Amino acid sequence: MRLHLSLVSLFFLLFSFVFVADGNTTIPPKDGIYQDDPEDLSFMLSPNPVRRGCVLQVNQVVDLVILDLRGQEIQRFPGFSGGSLDLKDLEEGIYFLQLITPNVVRTQRLVKVEERN
């Protein structure tokens, strides 16, 4: 069996090897979001489920929004840089925390449970 390559297919083969295999070229994913963005947003929420309050640590300043299951805004904390959240006034249920920067929006589920006596 013989392999026949046209000049066009040879060009594309070499082009793909040079620009993809060098390790320095980033090809955007289909959704347009780069996974290794230097401004990547990371956070840690503890505890979850929450009774009265929790601690949210973030690696940059965000606008923090608490949404209910219907997507209705419950509370907003603009310029949040991390720390304690007092959630004692939230009813028991499932909520979503949205952490918003100019480049990224991350969503974390939050479960509020009733306080024990």
Instruction: Tell me which fold the domain 43-112 belongs to.
Output: Immunoglobulin-like (2.60.40)
Q: For residue 62, what are its two tokens?
A: 């965000």
Q: What angle do CA 74, 49, 110 make, to 5 degrees?
A: 35
| Per-chain mean pLDDT for the chain | 77
Q: For residue 40, what are its two tokens?
A: 């990547």
Three-state DSSP at 9 gives: helix
Would you list the domain boundaries of the chain? 43-112
**Residue 27: per-residue pLDDT:** 43
Note the helical H segments in the chain. 7-20
CA atoms within 13 A on the CB side of 18: 6
Chain segment 42-80, per-residue pLDDT in tens? 899 999 999 999 999 999 999 999 999 999 999 999 999
Name the amino acid, one letter, at 68: D
- Asked if the model's pLDDT at residue 11 lies above 90, the reply is no
- In the numeric block, the tokens 């907003």 are attached to 76
